[in-house]
C-alpha cells in the first residue's frame, strides 16, 4: 500500500503545482498591470495614443484590431465550419471520410507560424489583388472598404484567422453531428424530408454544439499571436476601414516586448493589454463551455 500512498502524494503535488501556476499567472497579470490602471485609469482602455517616449499608453487601437479581426474571422468561419462538418459526415464517401477528418484535424494543430508565413507570402497578395483592390475600387464608397489596401492589413489577418479556426470549430460540430441518434434521422426521412431538409433539422438539433464550437474558435482567434503579427500590418491607428493596417493586443505584445523595459510604464502597459485579453478570452470561453455543458446534459 505504500506505492499507493506515494502515487497519491505525487498526484496532489502535480495538481497543486498546476493550480499554483494558474493562480500565479492571474496574480502577476493583476499586480504587474496595476500601475498602468492606477496611473491612467480607463484612459488606458479608451485612449488611442501609444507613445512610449512620452510615456502615454492607450490600448484602444489594438483592442479594436482584436475585435475586428476576430469578428471577420468568425463571420467567415461560421458557414465554412458548418459546411465542412456536414460535408465530412454526410456527403463524402465513407472510405475518404477518415482521411478527410485526419487532414482537417492536422490543420487544426499546425504551428501558427506556418499559417503566418503562408498568409504573408501567398494569401495576402491573392486577397490584395483579387478581392481587396476590386472591392476598394468599385465599392470604395462604403466606409468598410474606403482605405486603399496594402496586402497586410486587418482584413487579411481576419481571413487568415478564419482559415486557422475552421478545422477546430468544424471538428467540434462534426463530432456532434455524427453523434445525432440514428432514429432521429429515420424520423426526419420518414415524414418525407429530403436530404437537405434532414440536414437542416439535424443542425437545429445540435445547435448548442455549433455555438460551443464557434465560441471556442472565437476565443482562439482573439488570442492568436504569431500568424496575426505577420499579416496585420502592425500600425497603431484607430482603424477607419477593414483595409487599414492595424494591430491586435496579442501582436502588440509580441512586437513591443523587446524594448519594453527601456520605458517606465511600458511593461505594465503590455501587462494591461494582456489582462484585457485575458478577461475577454475568459468570457468567450466560458460561453463556449456553457454550450458544451448543454450538449453533455442532452446527450
Footprint on this chain of other proteins (rule: CB under 8 A): 94, 181, 183-194, 197, 201, 204-205, 207, 298
Q: CB 208 → other proteins: shortest distance, Å? A: 9
**For residues 177 and 252, is the Cβ–Cβ distance under 8 A?**
no
Q: CB 205 → other proteins: shortest distance, Å? A: 5
Q: Which three cell numbers stand for residue 60?
A: 484602444
Q: Which three cell numbers stand for residue 1?
A: 500500500
Q: CB 217 → other proteins: shortest distance, Å? A: 22
Count of alpha carbons within 13 angstroms of residue 42, beta-carbon side? 0
Dihedral, CA atoms, 245, 246, 247, 248, nearest 10 degrees?
-110
Q: CB 287 → other proteins: shortest distance, Å? A: 19
Beta carbon nearer to other proteins, 44 or 291: 291
Round to the nearest angstrom and report the end-to-end CA distance of the chain: 39
Q: CB 36 → other proteins: shortest distance, Å? A: 47
Which residues, 6 or more positions from 155, have their beta carbon under 8 angstroms from its beta carbon?
72, 127, 132, 149, 242, 243
Beta carbon nearer to other proteins, 66 or 208: 208
Beta carbon nearer to other proteins, 197 or 264: 197
Q: CB 183 → other proteins: shortest distance, Å? A: 4
CA torsion sign for 23, 28, 31, 37 is negative
Max CA pair span of the chain: 77
Beta carbon nearer to other proteins, 163 or 188: 188
Q: Is beta strand 56-57 parallel, antiparallel or unpaired with respect to 50-51?
A: antiparallel
Tell me the C-alpha distance between 144 and 242, whole Å.
Answer: 5
Neighbours of 246 (CB within 10 A): 29
Beta carbon nearer to other proteins, 192 or 258: 192
Q: CB 297 → other proteins: shortest distance, Å? A: 11
Beta carbon nearer to other proteins, 85 or 280: 85
The residue written with cell numbers 491573392 in the block is: 126
**For residues 217 and 81, is the Cβ–Cβ distance under 8 A?**
yes
Tell me the C-alpha distance between 140 and 134, whole Å.
Answer: 9
Amino acid at each position: 500500500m505504500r506505492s499507493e500512498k506515494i502515487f497519491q502524494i505525487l498526484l496532489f503535488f502535480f495538481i497543486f503545482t498546476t493550480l499554483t501556476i494558474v493562480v500565479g499567472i492571474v496574480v502577476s497579470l493583476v499586480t504587474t498591470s496595476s500601475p498602468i490602471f492606477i496611473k491612467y485609469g480607463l484612459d488606458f482602455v479608451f485612449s488611442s495614443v501609444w507613445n512610449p517616449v512620452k510615456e502615454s499608453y492607450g490600448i484602444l487601437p489594438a483592442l479594436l484590431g482584436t475585435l475586428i479581426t476576430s469578428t471577420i474571422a468568425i463571420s467567415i468561419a461560421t458557414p465554412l465550419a458548418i459546411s465542412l462538418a456536414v460535408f465530412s459526415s454526410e456527403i463524402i464517401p465513407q472510405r475518404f471520410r477518415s482521411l478527410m477528418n485526419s487532414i482537417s484535424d492536422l490543420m487544426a494543430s499546425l504551428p501558427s507560424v506556418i499559417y503566418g508565413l503562408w498568409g504573408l507570402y501567398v494569401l495576402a497578395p491573392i486577397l490584395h489583388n483579387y478581392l481587396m483592390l476590386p472591392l476598394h475600387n468599385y465599392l470604395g464608397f462604403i466606409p468598410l472598404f474606403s482605405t486603399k489596401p496594402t496586402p497586410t492589413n486587418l482584413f487579411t489577418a481576419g481571413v487568415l484567422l478564419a482559415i486557422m479556426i475552421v478545422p477546430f470549430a468544424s471538428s467540434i460540430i462534426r463530432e456532434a453531428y455524427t453523434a445525432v441518434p440514428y432514429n432521429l434521422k429515420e424520423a426526419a426521412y420518414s415524414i418525407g424530408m429530403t436530404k437537405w431538409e434532414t440536414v437542416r433539422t439535424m443542425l437545429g438539433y445540435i445547435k448548442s454544439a455549433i455555438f460551443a464550437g464557434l465560441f471556442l474558435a472565437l476565443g482562439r482567434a482573439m488570442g492568436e499571436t504569431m500568424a496575426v503579427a505577420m499579416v496585420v500590418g502592425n500600425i497603431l491607428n484607430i482603424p477607419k476601414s477593414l483595409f487599414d493596417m492595424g494591430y491586435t493586443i496579442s501582436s502588440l505584445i509580441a512586437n513591443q516586448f523587446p524594448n519594453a523595459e527601456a520605458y517606465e510604464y511600458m511593461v505594465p502597459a503590455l501587462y494591461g493589454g494582456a489582462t484585457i485579453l485575458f478577461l475577454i478570452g475568459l468570457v468567450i470561453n466560458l460561453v463556449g463551455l456553457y454550450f458544451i455543458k448543454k450538449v453533455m446534459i442532452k446527450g
